[in-house]
Structure 1
Amino acid sequence: MRHGVLLLPEHRWPRARERWILAEELGYDHAWTYDHLMWRWLSDKPWFSAVPTLAAAAGATSRITLGTMVASPNFRHPVDFAKELVSLDDISGGRMVCGVGAGAEGHDARIRGDRPLSRRERGSRFEEFVDLLDRLLREKRTTLHGQWYTVEDVVVQPECLAAPRLPLAVAAAGPRGMALAARYADVWVTSGAPNSFESERYDRVVPLLKEQLAALDDACAALGRDPSTLRRLLLTGGSVGGVLESVESYRDSAGVFRDIGFTDFVVHWPRPEPPFRGREEVLFDFATTELGGAR
């Protein structure tokens, strides 16, 4: 199982830099940050942009994979974002993963005065967003006259360092999203119950996650894709709780989710206050004993 950590983009760079470097030194395989203009409970607190943060993190580290968790069409356009992704890919030496999601209602969907979208419309927009982003990162020239995006003869250069493009991690819970992940994703992402921050202890969410894993297998089968070619990432700390209560719970939960089929396991860097309140010592102790890292 690959282990990851999510760092909220809330600290000025001198302090944030220390944590990105420490995440690598602790032995984590990947590190992520949220891609929002503003975010839920912290909408009136310091919050930095994901792309420059990841560019700086790429310059400060040398091994760890870096990613967005997750970018959405709420404020991203595929053409602009594709240019930023190939730049991040180059700066990081091919260590970038692009995590994408449909984008829920919230600050990012409202503060720019955009028209509110129904769930069906958000799903349709996300399908076109992922398809176009995939094409921009693969093709020499891309033209699309779609429902949501119109692009004409777009060239995105240089090409990604990894062929045919950098990895896509698609967050999905419903049938349309699962089908999208099965078609385009290198990594499927779930956080348990979609758009829920009602925390349940990790062992109690196993039935739901098993259902999601089975639905993903079915979506792969419908497209003729080998399900084993798609990594499965679980982001904990929202609806999946109790993981960082202790080193023992961290170790136990990782084993539980590995055994049901997850390949990647991500926790939030503990904060001294909600959301994601916890003790950094649990993160450090787990990493030094289980990941072979050092502080």
Structure 2
Amino acid sequence: MPQLPFLARERVSRNAHAVVTGAGSGIGRAFALEIARRGGAVVVSDINLATAQETAELVRAAGGRAWALQCDVTQFEAVQAMADEAERLLDAPVDLVINNAGVGVGGRPVGEIPLEDWEWTVGINMWGVVYGCHIFAPKLKALGRGGIINVCSTASFAAAPMMGPYNLTKAAVLALSETLAAETAGSGVKVTALCPTVVKTNIFTSGRIDASVTPLMDKLVALTGVSADGVVRTTLNALDKGQLYVLPQFDARMIWRAKRYIPSTYARGAGLLGRFAATRR
């Protein structure tokens, strides 16, 4: 008996024609490599063309197909041009989109964070994902298959102190992912929101993190950070199963439950923990 579209178990991550933003390092690079391992071809996009080329070379060295493109995701025209060029390079419709490009900002309370940092973070973390979804979601719905992975963060619901711009933008990406999942239901297109805690990437060194917080973040990454490779495998498998939320670590799942079942207690506890951390700098 043929399967109904909403019951289909198509393995989106296999033999995909993919676009990954922010793929010059970290989670984006791990996605590109894993997609290639699963038989896919990938367009590696990053604002830093040199690191994008490094990722593409790693994919090709592992026997995969990859092309590097420079793209500033804060500019709609640049994302549109990248999407058009990706289809030309792949010689096929894009059927897997990973909106991963993102930056970290933190270390100061609301009111002390420069407005320039707010604008910078919103441009990359939020508008970059909005542009990617705006361009690719209609294409995928017309195709009748494929998937979109938006890289959010536990920050999208944890709302930890001293991380206002990052929290704001990641919450927006999670809300966008939930909206898009509802809008694509039954269309054959799958949407997954990745919400990890600490992953061993360069987001803290490449972002705008207050210098007084940097040693603490370095320790946190060293002690609790997990590899991007494992997070990526979990996420692609979840996409194949049609799962909307991916919380790949135990602490992410605990924060998720606490925020929903005891929100007021959680907020007070987060504030106290933030103030204690501030005294330990």
Shared fold per TM-score greater than 0.5:
no
* TM bracket (short chain): 0.3 to 0.5
TM-score w.r.t. length of structure 1: 0.35
